Amino acid sequence: MTLPSTIRPATSADAERICTIYNHYIATTTISFEEEPVEPAQMAQRIADVASANLPWLVMEEGEKLIGYAYATKWRVRAAYRFAVESSVYLDPDHAGKGAGTLLYQALLAELRQRELHLVIGGIAQPNEASVRLHERLGFTKVAHFSEVGLKFGRWVDVGYWQLKLN
């Protein structure tokens, strides 16, 4: 039996569990280009930085266990870019492929629309078929592909960019 899911804004108290989820991807995949584990204090600061930019950072709980998170950051710092953001979504690997990512991303997109943003951009390290499917299911279209833009685990990694116009 699956417990009901709740989506709510992240707080600094979520930082440790978010690190547990994220550090798995750092250590075992090229999905994140970070190479060192993130400490809870660093993650709490990232959550605060997103909030101070008036952007959403959401977490999903199943019962009382945090199983995933999604957030948006500014796309670029110049003023003319203020209506574009970049999105990220991460799930506990045990909960991937069960629809949680879709629900979490839909909630993030709804929050972004309320902020009257125009464009959301998802950067996806390649290959990552699951993330590509998720983005395209939500209406994103591929707009760019950078070859060998990152080096992790001794191999070059491409990154594709997908975008969704919010309004």
CA angle 35, 40, 41 (to 5 degrees): 105
Mean pLDDT in consecutive groups of 10 residues from the start of the chain, 167 residues:
80 98 98 97 98 97 95 96 97 90 96 95 97 97 98 98 96
pTM for the whole thing?
0.94
Contacts of residue 76, defined as CB under 8 A and 6 or more positions apart, other chains included, come to 84
* Structural domains of the chain in order of their starting residue, each with its CATH number: 5-165 (3.40.630.30)
CA torsion, ordered 63, 45, 120, 7, to nearest 10 deg: 10
